[in-house]
Amino acid sequence: MKSAGFSLGEMTLGLAVISCLLAAACLCGHKFYGRAQVEAALNSLAAVCNASQHYYSRNQVWPDNVAQLSGDYLNGIHFVNPFGQEYMISKNSNRVDVSTLIPKGAISQSLAGPQAVIKNEGAYDRVTFSSPAGNGVASRLFYDKKYLYKE
């Protein structure tokens, strides 16, 4: 007499295979989630840099902090990156530097692009974009898949 259904051995083997596939998917998903966080931080950093340039073109002074850019210059940008670190603005008379901290090793120069300066600061890497005065909208930084470039 032939029985219908699966034996205990077949069920165990099937569950083991499914478990391995789910474990691999979770590991890959975590990697992609981390990369998405880095890309979101880079996109926001470029937006803050661009907004600083617009602020300078209107007011002839650089903004003191990201809060000054909210409203007219930035919409929907949080004051902290996905890793909980603030976006910082440092300025001098002819340029502004916008930077943020990203966990050490999460970003590479090829991911950030040639305009970014990456400097290790202990458990974090500081990623900085610089924007010179007087370039106006032509110096906007955009993020396109892997690289930042000037328009």
From the first residue on, what is the mean pLDDT of each consecutive set of 10 residues in the chain (151 residues)? 80 93 83 84 87 88 86 79 89 86 82 79 89 54 42 38
pTM: 0.69
pLDDT given for residue 114 in this prediction = 73
Pairing of strands 88-91, 95-103: antiparallel
> How many structural domains comprise the chain?
1
Residue 74 tokens, joined: 């930035």
Whether residue 136 lies inside any domain: the answer is yes
Range of the domain at 74: 8-150
**Of the candidates 71, 45, 60, 59, the residue with the CA atom closest to the CA atom of residue 140:** 45
Whether residue 95 lies inside any domain: the answer is yes
H/E stretch holding 103: strand 95-103
Whether residue 125 lies inside any domain: the answer is yes
Q: 131 and 112 in contact (C-beta within 8 Å)?
A: no
Angstrom distances, CA of residue 95 to CA of 12, 110, 131: 64, 24, 6
Whether residue 2 lies inside any domain: the answer is no
Whether residue 1 lies inside any domain: the answer is no
